[in-house]
Structure 1
Amino acid sequence: MDAIMQGLQWFIGLGSNVFLPIIILVIALIFGVKPGKAFISGITVGIGSIGLGLVIDLLSSTLGQAIQTMGESYGVALNILDVGCGVGGPLAFSTTIGILLIPLSLVFNFLFIGLGLTKTLNVDIWNFWFPGFLGLVAWSVSGNIFVGIIASVVAVMLQWLLADIFQDKISRFFGFPGIAISHMMALSGAALAAPMNWIMDRIPGLNKLNADAETLTKRFGIFGDTVVMGLIIGAVVGVAARYDAAGIGTLAMSTAAVMKIMPKMVAMFMEGLMPVAEAAKEFASRHLGGKTVNIGMDAALTVGHPTVMSTALILVPVSLILALVLPGNRVLPFGELAFYAFGICLMIPFFNGNMVRSLIGCTVYMILCLYLSNWLAPVVTEVFQLAHFDVGSTGLVTFVLSGLWPVALFVLAVTYLGPWGLLVVAAVVVVLMIYVNKVRPAKGTDSSQRVQEAQG
């Protein structure tokens, strides 16, 4: 057992840019892709992953640093440190729960696909960290590591369910056939965007406003172009951070570059994934009785969309203003600033790419995340201590995107019902899986047959 754990730790230690191409290569071969083509797919996905990482690092080191400079001027009373979700992977995979979750998730995933309870084959191993984090949260609240292990398994079940529910809408909006986004951090926002959009549909005036990226470009000319918007946002933040002319110009150009380069990196990512997605469909048709199998992937595939990037960039100054004016808030966003796109990207399809609705909905979501990250700060701090991460003398630590409803759900379930709370959550998830993947498709088939009979 120790050897297996050490082997898994070694594999994760290779880094996502190394182990992701290997995983894609293996999955492609299992699905019957020819070895040469499978190898190229894996390498192409790895190159896309490296490219995305470089763009995100650029955003973090330029815009993120400028925001931190701004925050130092205003954040005296905001004494809970936002460490950012970027530490989530190293945090989760440095623990027994995080390492155990990898084989557990893969075994249960294949079992659930075989039973027809999910259509998502999640190969996005790096982002197993978030269910692992939920397991650590349950361990922290209960004081029992076995409760934490159960929680992490229930969390991946919830992840598959959400991926299945939203796959069709997200796939059609972004143009990703055969792909499901299985990144729970992003899926959490999608679950709230749908009811938000329903409410906005019923607000007079607001329901008439439409400003997607194409409309903005037509109406405002070059000022509606996402690259120019990035340039302007970068310049405004540079001025607010009191940079000199060279600093403002560099920040503006860096932000514009992110807006231009990100979609190209996503396109490369998809270039490598498409042969695997197509092979998965053929494999399912031959060996799984025609069951649909969607490849579960990282939300990084979606962050290059113009509305996603524009909304995420505008949320940076908006979140700082919110942090300063919201009563009772003690968190100043720092480490999370470069990751907002991952938190809100799957909300955009449910707002149909409408910038007005996206900004309103994502701002409301940011308020919720800020307050929940305040409330959860003691639990998050203890999670860091369980993982033997040194938080020094900073006191409480958190990250804004720890303030997601699944985290609150697991904390409340374990706090008030103990392990039974997790079993209740698991039971609800399984019932919904049955409805989404068995009952609802059967109803759709019956309806189609009745229409055909009526037409005949």
Structure 2
Amino acid sequence: MNFIGHLFDTPIALGYSVILPLLLLVIGLVVGLKVVKALQAGLTATFCLVGAAVLISRFTSSLLDLGRQMTQASGVTMAVTDVGWRASSLIASASRIGLYIVPMCILINLVLLLAKATRTINLDIWSYWQCAFVGAMAESLTGSFAGGMITACAAVILFLVVADNTAGKLQKYCDVPGVSLAHGFAAGPAPVLGLFNWVLDKIPGLRRFRVTFPSLHKKIGFLADPALWSVIAATILGLLAARPLGEILPVSFQVGAVVFLVPRIMEYLGQCITPIAEGLERFSREKLGLHTSLTLGLTSTVGLGNSTVLFISLLLTPLAIPLAARLPGNLVLPDSDLVMIPYLIIFAVLLARGDLIRSLIGGIGAIVLSLYASTGLAGLTTQAAAAADPETYGALTQSVSNLFGSGNPITWVLVSLSRFGVAGWGMILILALAAAMWNYNRMTGNVKLYVKKPKPLLASSIDEMKKEAEQRRSQRKQAVSQKRAALRAAVAADLEKRNQEDGGAEASVRSDSEESGK
């Protein structure tokens, strides 16, 4: 088993900029592309992702500086220190589960693909450690390696199910076909956000009421450009943080440049990856008999290809600090993981279909969920971090947590269930298998488990339906005949008026000619 675990150390160490083109090349060849075309698609897609990641890194570092300055200006302190996502990564890699997480995730993904319980081919193997973190937290809580493995496997399944159900929104609003996002941190608040938008859509009038950048652009043109709004917002936030204007403006324009460039890079990424996406769609329908196409699970940077995501994250990063200070029961003050807020709110924007108001409310909700989850797992995170790295975290006198790992709502649910031992692991398995079965029925069109059989219609009901249909037909005929009659009358009146005008004109011409003759 150690050999199997270490087998994946080299590709992980090389990074996705080296391995991703090879993975895309293999997939392109499998779906029928020529070698040159598949290689071109893989390389250009990787170049786009690397370039976007560089820009996003500059964007998030600006948000972190701004948030920390606002924290210092406010003087707010909390009982739990936000030590950032690297603490979660350390906990995952130091655990026994972290050694086997990559082959385990690949195996589960393959089994679910063969069982038609997922359509995501998760290529983001560098984010698998998030599943290992869930299992490591469960193992640290219960002391059971088997329980930790069960919890980690459940996390893999749930993240894939979320990826399948959000792929359509991701492809539509980020202009990247054939992709999905199985990133654990982004997927955490997605079920609650989906329920939130579903409820709003059921309220009359709210479904069609949308305020988006494209709709505003139709009314006010360039003044609705997201990059322009980002420059203005960054400038205002810098002034609120009491920074000199000479320092604010360069950063503001850098933020605007990122908001301007990243969506265009993702648009080009969509063009590059289209041949592989089309090949996957043909392969899915012809070879696998799926009702939907297989998708490529890529890095969460793809989700930041929507300008609304970047703009809303710019607003919510400084807002997270006063929100955390006033939230009842919260003990975590966001600090190091402020850079992760753009990834946290990806589905808050995409599930809201780009609506600015819904996205802002959903983003606030995602931050609230993350803060409460990180507070709930703060004690366990402190214990696990001290065991993983005693030199760094063992001597701390204050509890530690973060938004990225401990603040994931799905992580909190799974770890909380594992507290009940065997019964909790059973509930975790039931939850994961139920999600996979639901996903299978949705993908294959086999919805018999969820749709009641229609009751047979009585003869009287059929007669009533025929009468209603006949009445509607007669009403339509009557309305059409009335419109035609009104149109004929209008035409006749118009002709009569024109004849009268023509007759009057001829009479005047005749009288003028007679007078000139005299």
Q: What's 2:165 paired with?
A: 165
Corresponding residue number in structure 2 for 1:256? 256
Alignment partners' CA distance in 2, 1:29 and 1:377: 47
Cα distance in 2 for partners of 1:409, 1:149 equals 16
Task: Give, in whole Å, the separation in 2 of the partners of 1:442 and 1:272.
Answer: 39
Match of 1:348 in 2: 349
Q: 1-side partners of 2:298 and 2:338: how far apart?
A: 22
- Residues 375-384 or 51-60, more deviating: 375-384
Counterparts in 2 of 1:127-138, with a 5 A limit? 127-138=127-138
| Change beyond 3 A, Cα 1:237–1:396 | same
Shift of 1:376: 1.5
Q: CA deviation at 1:34?
A: 2.2
Alpha-carbon distance in 1 for matches of 2:59, 2:397? 25
Report the CA distance between 1:256 and its aligned residue. Answer: 0.9
1:433 aligns with 2:439: yes
Q: Secondary structure at the match of 1:400?
A: coil
Partners of 2:270 and 2:389 lie apart in 1 by 37
Amino acid at match of 2:439: M
The share of aligned pairs that are identical, in percent, is: 27
The 8 Å contact of residues 151 and 415 in structure 2, kept in 1 or not, is answered as no
Distance 2:98 2:39 in 1: 28
Q: Distance in 2 between matches of 1:217 and 1:330?
A: 41
The equivalent of 1:405 in structure 2 is: 409
Letter in 1 for 2:314: L
Residue deviations 1:351-393, cap 9 Å, x none?
Answer: 2211011112221232222122111112223343454373352
Mapped contact 2:137–2:148 kept (Cα < 8 A): yes
Shift of residue 255 of structure 1? 1.3
**What are the residue-to-residue correspondences of 1:210-249 with 2, within 5 Å?**
210-218=210-218, 222-249=222-249
Cα shift readout 1:4-55 (whole Å, capped 9, x = no counterpart): 4333222212223223233223333333332222222222222122212211
Match in the other structure for 1:371: 372
The residue aligned with 1:35 is: 35
SS in structure 2 of the partner of residue 336 of structure 1: helix
**CA separation in 2, counterparts of 1:176 and 1:57?**
21
For the residues of structure 2 that align with 1:8 and 1:235, how far apart are their CA atoms? Answer: 45
The alpha-carbon distance between structure 1 residues 365 and 108, as it changes in their structure 2 partners (threshold 3 A), is closer
Shift of 1:222: 4.5
> How far apart, CA to CA, are the structure 1 residues paired with 2:102 and 2:272?
23
Partners of 1:172 and 1:304 in 2: CA distance: 11
Which residue, 411, 419, 426 being the options, matches 1:415?
A: 419
Shift of 1:65: 1.3
CA shift in 2, pair 1:131/1:60, >3 Å: same
Aligned 8 A contact 1:75 1:332 in 2: no
> Gaps (5+ residues) in structure 1?
448-456
Letter in 2 for 1:366: I
Deviation of the 1:139 alpha carbon:
1.4
Is the contact between residue 174 and residue 303 of structure 2 (CA under 8 Å) also seen in structure 1? yes
Query: 1:138 Cα shift?
Result: 1.5
Larger-Rg structure: 2
- 1:299 is matched with which residue? 300
Aligned counterparts of 2:383 and 2:23: Cα–Cα separation in 1:
33
1:89–1:127 contact (8 Å) kept in structure 2:
no
CA distance in 1, matches of 2:119, 2:371: 33
User: Which structure has more RCO (C-alpha within 8 Å, separation ≥ 6)?
Assistant: 1
Q: Which amino acid aligns with 2:48?
A: G
Over 3 Å counting, the alpha-carbon distance change for 1:31 and 1:86 in structure 2 is: farther
> Residue 94 of structure 1: CA displacement?
5.2
The answer on whether the counterparts of 2:309 and 2:346 sit within 8 Å (CA) in structure 1 is: yes
Q: 1:436 to 1:305 in 2, by over 3 A?
A: same
1:391-414 CA-to-partner distances (Å, cap 9, x unmatched) read 352632222243232112102210
Q: Where does the alignment leave 5 or more consecutive residues of structure 2 unmatched?
A: 454-518
Change (3 A) 1:380 1:96: same
**TM-score normalised by L of structure 2:** 0.78
Q: Matches of 1:238 and 1:434 in 2, distance apart?
A: 49
Q: Structure 1, residues 63-87: CA drift from partner, whole Å, max 9, x if none?
A: 3112112212334422422233366
Q: 8 Å contact 2:52–2:265 — kept in the other structure? A: yes
The alpha carbon displacement at 1:314 in A equals: 1.0
Give the 5 Å matches for 1:271-282: 271-282=271-282
Q: Map Cα deviations across residues 161-204 of structure 1 (whole Å, 9 max, x no partner).
A: 22223333443444443322222322333322232123334668
Distance, in Å, in 2 between the alignment partners of 1:43 and 1:94 is 33
Amino acid at match of 1:41: A
Measured in 1, the distance between the counterparts of 2:205 and 2:38 equals: 51
Distance change >3 Å, CA 361–CA 31, structure 1 → 2: same
1:89-238 to 2 correspondences below 5 Å: 89=89, 92-93=92-93, 95-201=95-201, 209-218=209-218, 222-238=222-238
Q: Which whole-Å CA distance do the structure 1 matches of 2:119 and 2:157 have between them?
A: 12
Q: Once superposed, what is the RMSD of the aligned Cα atoms? A: 3.0
| Distance in 2 separating the partners of 1:89 and 1:237 | 31
Q: Secondary structure at the match of 1:303?
A: helix
Change (3 A) 1:269 1:133: farther
Report the Cα distance in structure 2 between the residues aligned to 1:444 and 1:150, rounded to whole angstroms. Answer: 27
CA deviation after TM superposition for structure 1 residue 341, in Å: 2.1
Query: Compared with structure 1, are the counterparts of its residues 93 and 264 closer, same or farther at alpha carbon in structure 2 (3 Å cutoff)?
Result: farther
Shift of 1:328: 3.2
Query: Hey, what's the Cα distance between the residues in 2 that align with 1:202 and 1:38?
Result: 44
SS in 1 for 2:305: coil
